A = this chain, B = another copy of it.
Amino acid sequence: MAAQLYKTENGRLFHAGAVAIITVGLPARGKTHVSRSLCRYMRWMGVSTKVFSVGNYRRERLRTIPEEYFDPNNKAAFAARIRIADDCLDDLIEWLQHGGGQVAIYDGNNVTEERRREIHDKLVNQDIHPLFIESICNKPEIVLANIRSVKISSPDYVGWEPEEAVKDYTKRIEQHKINYETIADLSLPFVKLMNVGEQLIVNNVQGYLQSRVVYYLMNLHNRPRTIYFARAGESLNPNLYKVDAELSPEGRQYAENLKNFMIAYREKKRTEANNSEDQERPLSIWTSTRKKSRQSALPFAEAGFPVRQHSVLTQLNPGEVDGLTPEEIKQKFPEEVARARQDPYRHRYPRAESYHDLAIRLESIIMELEREKNDVLIIAHDTVLRCLYAYLFDRPESEIPTISIPRPFLVEITPTAYGCKETRMEITPESCV
């Protein structure tokens, strides 16, 4: 919800019209991951977006899945599935037409040409622009990783034995394979995603929002990885942005603790994951170009970790309130304080950046973060981490200025198909050994 590049009064973009994105593909091809990530990104841009998941509709209607539910030869089961899928589609259309929505994502398998043509015609008749996204994966190791991650994140397998979940899910994939036809109808607007990111085929796609979707898909991958956030250490002059001060002695100690904690933590994870599939990935450190951020990464650099400076990770520029206490700000800019209260996300103090400005500035880092395949630790100022956090966790812009990312905590963020998960750990000298 953050960047709101394109906010309009009614939440709809100038005549871009309503867009329905329809996922296509076998189970475990990353469709839900694509749907959720895309939704998060569109919302970040300020576009009113919602996922309509056929799986969720099915889960709401049926407590348990009958044995024959995905059997392609069982006519009653097929009719039941189509009924649920149609209800979901009708709700999607209703939301686009009367619910204030602009982009709706129809997350289902939609494996036959007949079904896709039916969906296409229904949408076009309602003046909605369809865009099909087919996720194709011909690398067994990626499919296997997806199947395995499902046991962690899919609501279908809560409480199942991992082995059983994998077996059941594999069977479901085989059942879908029987009817699966890849998109061949060139009159449909579609994107084929081969092995998430390796190759893209974009056919007959028109429209501004649609091209933003493709742009985003090009940057997406769904391999497992971890993102860490940590605040930079305290500087010698923490209240003055202008001076770009060095780390204080406490700040240096904090940086040392952070490095030790991280190494110990990753070592512990490595041991625990010994028999699991979650492979160890290299860790990179990203900092801003400000001294306290760079110096907080020094112990990592000395320990051999690659450190990259990004100038766009620089904290929110406080402008003329730099160095002032809240009391002094109130005295000097009473009107500004009142305005800031009304809209803390968009308000700019004189010569300052707003959180909104900062969110726009961070767009390139967000794409970089989506593309990154290794683990990353971002050591930055709280204003920057708040914005990135809001993007990853799909939090409304109004919350951004108050998101808490305190020192000395390490925030571990794990993206999954169904959203990010977080763990916060306090960094203390004792905890590092």
Residues of A in contact with B (beta carbons under 8 Å apart): 5-6, 8-9, 13-15, 186, 198-208, 211-212, 214-215, 218-219, 308-312, 350, 360, 363-364, 367-368, 371
Partner of A204, one of B9, B199, B203: B199
B215 touching A212 by the CB < 8 A rule? Answer: yes
Instruction: Tell me, in angstroms, the Cα distance from A202 to B205 when the chains sit together.
Output: 14
Provided the pairs A215-B212, A309-B14 are in contact, do residues A202 and B199 lie with their beta carbons within 8 angstroms?
yes
Instruction: Tell me, in angstroms, the Cα distance from A206 to B368 when the chains sit together.
Output: 11
Instruction: Tell me, in angstroms, the Cα distance from A15 to B310 when the chains sit together.
Output: 8
A215 touching B211 by the CB < 8 A rule? Answer: yes
List, in ascending order, chain B residues with CB within 8 A of A218's CB: 202, 205, 211, 214-215
List, in ascending order, chain B residues with CB within 8 A of A199's CB: 186, 201-204
B211 touching A8 by the CB < 8 A rule? Answer: no
Provided the pairs A200-B201, A201-B199, A371-B208 are in contact, do residues A364 and B219 lie with their beta carbons within 8 angstroms?
no
Partner of A350, one of B6, B309, B350: B350
Residue of B nearest to A13 (CB): B364
| Distance from A320 Cβ to chain B, minimum over Cβ atoms (Å) | 10
List, in ascending order, chain B residues with CB within 8 A of A208's CB: 219, 364, 367-368, 371
- Tell me how many chains of this kind the complex includes: 2
Complex A-B: 10 CB contacts under 8 Å? A5-B363, A13-B364, A14-B309, A14-B312, A186-B199, A199-B203, A200-B205, A211-B367, A212-B215, A350-B350
B200 touching A15 by the CB < 8 A rule? Answer: no
A219 touching B215 by the CB < 8 A rule? Answer: no
Provided the pairs A206-B371, A211-B218, A214-B215 are in contact, do residues A201 and B201 lie with their beta carbons within 8 angstroms?
yes
| Distance from A288 Cβ to chain B, minimum over Cβ atoms (Å) | 10
Residue of B nearest to A210 (CB): B218
List, in ascending order, chain B residues with CB within 8 A of A312's CB: 6, 14
| Distance from A196 Cβ to chain B, minimum over Cβ atoms (Å) | 13
Instruction: Tell me, in angstroms, the Cα distance from A311 to B311 when the chains sit together.
Output: 32
Taking A15-B308, A200-B200, A211-B367 as known contacts, 7 extra A-B pairs with beta carbons closer than 8 A to each other, sorted by chain A number, are: A5-B360, A14-B309, A198-B204, A199-B201, A205-B218, A208-B364, A211-B215
| Distance from A199 Cβ to chain B, minimum over Cβ atoms (Å) | 5
| Distance from A296 Cβ to chain B, minimum over Cβ atoms (Å) | 18
Instruction: Tell me, in angstroms, the Cα distance from A312 to B14 when the chains sit together.
Output: 8
| Distance from A212 Cβ to chain B, minimum over Cβ atoms (Å) | 7
List, in ascending order, chain B residues with CB within 8 A of A206's CB: 371
Instruction: Tell me, in angstroms, the Cα distance from A201 to B193 when the chains sit together.
Output: 10
| Distance from A220 Cβ to chain B, minimum over Cβ atoms (Å) | 10
Residue of B nearest to A190 (CB): B199
List, in ascending order, chain B residues with CB within 8 A of A205's CB: 200, 218
List, in ascending order, chain B residues with CB within 8 A of A5's CB: 360, 363-364
List, in ascending order, chain B residues with CB within 8 A of A360's CB: 5, 360
Instruction: Tell me, in angstroms, the Cα distance from A273 to B214 when the chains sit together.
Output: 39
Partner of A215, one of B215, B363, B371: B215
The 4 A-B pairs of least Cβ separation, nearest first, read: A215-B215, A200-B202, A211-B218, A199-B203
A310 touching B14 by the CB < 8 A rule? Answer: yes
Provided the pairs A201-B201, A202-B199, A219-B211 are in contact, do residues A8 and B311 lie with their beta carbons within 8 angstroms?
yes
| Distance from A48 Cβ to chain B, minimum over Cβ atoms (Å) | 15
